[in-house]
Amino acid sequence: MSEPRVLVIGAGPAGVRAAEALVAGGISPVVVDESPRSGGQIYRQPPDGFKRPGKALYSFEAGRAQRLHQTFANLRNHMDYRPETLVWNVRDGVAHTARDGAHGEIPFDAVIIASGAHDRVAPFPGWTTPGVFTLGGAQVALKYQGCTIGRRVAFVGTGPLLTLVAWQYAKAGADVAAVIDSATLGDKVAALGALAKDPATLAKGIYYAAGLRARGIPLIHGAVPLEAIGDGRIKALRYQDGAGREQRVACDAVATGYGLVPETRLADIAGCRFAFHEPSRQWLPETDDDGRTAVTRVYLAGDGMGIAGANAAEARGALAAFAVLADLGRSVPMTTVAAHRRRLAATRRFAAALDTAFAYPAGLAATMADDTILCRCEAIRAGDLRHAANDLGAGELNRAKALIRLAMGRCQGRMCGAAAAEVLAAALHSPVEQVERLRGAAPAKPIAMTLAAKP
């Protein structure tokens, strides 16, 4: 019998640990990754020729990052690694790829989709002005390019990334104008008990906040953005503070993000079922504890299944690989599986607490002004979506998409999706899960027509 063909999509923490477990189980996987080097977003490696040590790039996570990179380097001769390659379709046991304008097809007996996550966005007036970037983007600029997104940066959003990236900027010498968090201190205190289940992570959050305060940087809670001001470039950020007063902070860049969204397009295209996850107000693909989906041959791993963080992603990557091995009739080390499951259970409780401490500002999104751009791809405004709901009979997101091209643009709803659901639900006076979810379709990301036309 020929060796089973196993494909791993993504070379972040989940993909790398999946590949490692597959190789240990006697299978040489194909590993496809969009980036030129492994690590995913969190442990992203700079291009060749960059010299900062891991400690400068990954702070407390330097050890973990280094181990992950080393693990992947050690697998080099045991896998077929294809960097800078986009998987844009997964169907009937075949993955369709694009690399440098060339089409490829990878047949598989099993695929582990470890597609990661990106920032969850809450649009506000001026958010398309040059100089406004996501928190993750601000971090990429620093980690991957040694640049800050501006000289004086305002941070506005919520979630662990908010204080982390602000602290990294301050440490790198940038002027951090303010850190404006939509979560109230009360939200955070209420979640403290559960957050303390992961004392190391909790301690880091406290450390970053203390570091910012020590530098005299204002940390404002219960506050939301009103407008990024500037014509062609950012001059200031207007926001409403926790007491409801309007404030203004001068800056030349804004970093924003409200937690993370799992990247689920490929899971969707592959036919996975989804269920609404109330705590995070998101639709997540359904899997069993090890990442098996209801679709034969399709497994999920990492933050693409639902946000649980990098440590959980490593465990989920290994578990998905063990599930593949078991389903292929290979033996799996049950004590190792059990250890990963325990590790994962602990991170789940912590992730649930994060949903409480750093909730998506659904009300802010739902009440955005009619003339605020919601879809940045095609400059579709919140009022257009309300018009679709109230006058055109758009009872759910996909109908709205058909009517007004919301989420029809190049990003396919990645940036506007979370807020659009809130706007539509509010317009229809219905719970957000009733407006359903934006369905994914191939290609998962833009590709050249000439490429798609090839058989």
Partner 1 sequence: MAGTPDGQFFRVAETDRKIVAITVDGVAVTALDGDTLATALLTHGHHLRQSEFGDGPRAGFCLMGACQDCWVSLGDGRRVRACTTLVVDGMAIHRGNDL
The Cα–Cα gap between 387 and 424 comes to: 10
Residues 230-269 that bind partner 1 (CB under 8 A): 231-233, 252-253, 263
Regarding 132 and contact with partner 1 (CB under 8 A), the answer is: yes
The Cα–Cα gap between 148 and 287 comes to: 39
Regarding 304 and contact with partner 1 (CB under 8 A), the answer is: no
Q: List all residues 6 or more positions away from 408 whose beta carbon is below 8 Å from its beta carbon.
A: 377, 378, 401
Q: What are phi and psi of 177, to 5 degrees?
A: -70, -45
Q: Give the one residue of 411, 428, 430, 436 binding partner 1; rule: CB under 8 A.
A: 411
x-or-dash string of contact with partner 1, 151-180, rule CB under 8 A: x--------------------xxx------
Instruction: Give the position of tokens 């937690």.
Output: 259
Regarding 149 and contact with partner 1 (CB under 8 A), the answer is: yes
Strand ordering across the sheet containing 246-250: 224-229, 236-240, 246-250
Q: How far is the CB of 232 from partner 1 (least distance, A)?
A: 6
Residue 77 DSSP one-character state: G
Cβ distance to partner 1 smaller for residue 37 or 341:
37
Cβ distance to partner 1 smaller for residue 140 or 190:
140
Regarding 47 and contact with partner 1 (CB under 8 A), the answer is: yes
Q: Give the one residue of 45, 85, 148, 347 binding partner 1; rule: CB under 8 A.
A: 148
Residue 78 tokens read as 């045991």
Residue 280 DSSP one-character state: G
Span interacting with partner 1, options 58-66, 140-148, 195-203, 305-313, rule CB under 8 A = 140-148
The Cα–Cα gap between 126 and 236 comes to: 10
Q: Give the one residue of 15, 137, 259, 304 binding partner 1; rule: CB under 8 A.
A: 137
Strand ordering across the sheet containing 219-221: 132-134, 253-258, 152-158, 175-181, 219-221
CB atoms within 10 A of CB 73: 9
Q: Give the one residue of 55, 273, 349, 410 binding partner 1; rule: CB under 8 A.
A: 410
Q: How far is the CB of 450 from partner 1 (least distance, A)?
A: 12
Span interacting with partner 1, options 46-54, 198-206, 211-219, 340-348, rule CB under 8 A = 46-54
Regarding 346 and contact with partner 1 (CB under 8 A), the answer is: no
The Cα–Cα gap between 361 and 139 comes to: 22
Do the strands 6-9 and 30-32 form a parallel or antiparallel pair, or are they unpaired? parallel
Span interacting with partner 1, options 44-52, 156-164, 280-288, 318-326, rule CB under 8 A = 44-52
Cβ distance to partner 1 smaller for residue 278 or 371:
371
* E strands in 360-425: 373-375, 380-381
The Cα–Cα gap between 342 and 351 comes to: 14
Regarding 340 and contact with partner 1 (CB under 8 A), the answer is: no
- Using only the alpha carbons of the chain, give its radius of gyration: 22
Q: How many residues bind partner 1 (CB under 8 A)?
A: 57
Binding site for partner 1 (CB under 8 A): 34-36, 41, 46-52, 56, 101, 118-119, 128-134, 136-138, 140-142, 144-151, 172-174, 231-233, 252-253, 263, 373, 376-379, 409-411, 414-415, 445-446
